[in-house]
Amino acid sequence: MELTKMSDMTKLHQAVAAGDYSSVKKILKKGLCDPNYKDMDWNDRTPLHWAAIRGHMEVLQLLIEHGARPCLVTDVGWTPAHFAAESGHLNVLKTLHALHAAIDAPDFFGDTPKRIAQIYGQKACVAFLENKDVLSICLVLSAVTKEEDIIPALRPFLLSR
């Protein structure tokens, strides 16, 4: 049974990296594998890291639906957000942000996804990562219907400063 699990996990990582949605879905439906498994041969990357690297949005969402955790890091502390920023996959960053994933966490060397995006010249990602708090505040305010609800709605942003 354990060998089957390992075999399926290798297949899962490969299917995710290839963007093969139907294979990923079949493997996950079997329930024999953990979508958070870290592949030690690839620096502890999870399938979600591979989806972020390749920008495979449908696969990324499928993994999340099956319990993939965007907070897991590689052997150097990279989250899926680091890989998305490096590769310029803005939609991945937006999705991770919408899921309240830490898209500004530093790696083990202190580099944040924003810094990685700057290094690799991913200007759209840099702009998004610089303005993500403003976007969040706008979303919160758009949901507020009464004037007296504005300050309570903004309290989490005010307290985080």
Count of the separate structural domains present in the chain: 1
Contact 39, 79 (CB under 8 A): no
Question: Could you give the C-alpha distances from 108 to 32, 68, 74, 112, in angstroms and in order?
Answer: 32, 22, 10, 10
Residue identified by tokens 């507020």 is: 144
pLDDT at 70 over 60: yes
Give the pLDDT of residue 6.
Answer: 46
SS3 33: coil
Residue 158 has pLDDT above 60, yes or no: no
Per-residue pLDDT band for 141 (boundaries 50, 70, 90) equals low
Q: CA geometry: angle at 59 spanning 55 and 60, to 5°?
A: 65
pLDDT above 80 (res 29)? yes
CATH number for the domain including 130?
Answer: 1.25.40.20
Query: At residue 134, does pLDDT exceed 90?
Result: no
Tell me what pLDDT residue 140 has: 57
The residues facing 116 across adjacent strands are: none
Can you give the residue range of the structural domain that contains 67?
2-159
pLDDT digits (tens, 9 = 90+) for 112-133: 999 999 999 999 999 999 887 6
